[in-house]
Structure 1
Amino acid sequence: MKPDPQPSGLRRGVHFLINPEWTPEQALAVFEFLNDLADSIWSHYCVNLQELIQEQQRTPTDHSDIETVPSSF
């Protein structure tokens, strides 16, 4: 079974090892830290990130098959 793709769209990358001996409290602390980090990044780069996300979600358009209209028309 294939793993779910990452939100970044990357299929390969750094594999994170999670210590199986973490307590639920330790796991929650890391989870909350990562959420706080994401919130801080979003607060600082909000507009830039929105523009990048929109740019990435646009489908590339190929205009090579469109005839050009002469400028004297």
Structure 2
Amino acid sequence: LREHWSPEQALAIYDLLSELGEIIWRYYEIEMSDLIAERLKQNAALQRHSPTFNEAPDF
């Protein structure tokens, strides 16, 4: 990525990526929704099994 874009260039890229995201979502909504749900389940499971700062680690 270029470090210095004009506001117009940045907005044009943002609009392009937003539109691309919408197109991809229309084609893959169900599959992507399933993947997102699976990731959320995995993250929740990791959080349940992660030690808190108050717990001593198991060695």
CA RMSD of superposed structures (Å): 1.4
- AA aligned opposite 1:18: R
| 1:47 maps onto 2:30 in alignment | yes
Which deviations, in whole Å up to 9, do the C-alpha atoms of 1:17-37 show, x marking residues without a partner? Answer: 3231x2111110000001011
Q: In structure 1, list runs of 5 or more residues that go unmatched.
A: 1-16, 61-73
Give distance in 2, aligned partners of 1:55 and 1:38. 20
Q: In structure 2, list runs of 5 or more residues that go unmatched.
A: 47-59
- Counting aligned pairs with the same residue, the percent is 37
TM-score for both structures, normalised by structure 1: 0.53
TM-score for both structures, normalised by structure 2: 0.64
Instruction: Report which of the two structures shows the higher radius of gyration computed on alpha carbons.
Output: 1
| Aligned 1:6-45 pairs, distance under 5 A | 17-20=1-4, 22-45=5-28
Would you tell me which structure has more helix in proportion to its own residues?
2
**RCO higher in 1 or 2 (8 Å CA, sep ≥ 6)?**
2
Structure 2 partner of 1:56: 39
